[in-house]
Amino acid sequence: MRMNIKITYIISNINKSLAFEWIAQCLDKNKYQLQFILLNNSETELEKFLLKNNLYVKRINYNNKVDLIKAFFKITFELIKNRPDIVHAHLFEASFIGLLVAKILGIKQRIYTRHHSTLNHVYFPHAVKYDKFINWCSTHIIAISENVKNILIEKENVDDKKVVVIHHGFKIEEFQNISNERILHIKNKYKITDKDYPIIGVISRYVHWKGIQYIIPAFEKLLVEYPNAKLILANAQHGDNKDEIKKLLKKIPQKNYIEIPFENDVPALYKIFNVFVHVPIDNHSEAFGQVYIEALLAGIPCIFTLSGVANEFIIDKYNALVVPYKNSESIYESIKIILSDNSLVLRLRENGNKTAQNFNLEKMIHQLENLYQIRKNNMKRA
Domains and CATH numbers, the chain: 5-169+360-381 (3.40.50.2000), 172-356 (3.40.50.2000)
Preceding peptide of 198 cis, ω within 30°? yes
**pLDDT for residue 245:** 96
Q: Cα(first)–Cα(last) distance of the chain, in Å?
A: 10
Q: Which amino acid appears at position 202 of this protein?
A: V
The DSSP call for residue 152 is I
Sheet holding 32-40, edge to edge: 56-61, 32-40, 5-12, 86-90, 109-114, 140-143, 163-165
CB 174 within 8 A of CB 262: no
**pLDDT for residue 131:** 97
**pLDDT for residue 177:** 87
Cα angle, residue 102 at apex, residues 115 and 131 outer, rounded to 5°: 35
CB contact set of 241 (below 8 Å; sequence gap of 6+): 206, 207, 208, 210, 212, 213
Report the DSSP pairing between strands 199-203 and 275-278: parallel
**pLDDT for residue 382:** 35
Q: Is the pTM of this model over 0.75?
A: yes
The DSSP call for residue 176 is T
Low-confidence stretches of the chain (pLDDT beneath 70): 1-3, 375-382
**pLDDT for residue 65:** 83
**pLDDT for residue 380:** 45
**pLDDT for residue 381:** 38
Q: What phi, psi does 91 have (nearest 5°)? A: 75, 165
DSSP run (H or E) holding 203: strand 199-203
**pLDDT for residue 278:** 98
**pLDDT for residue 4:** 84
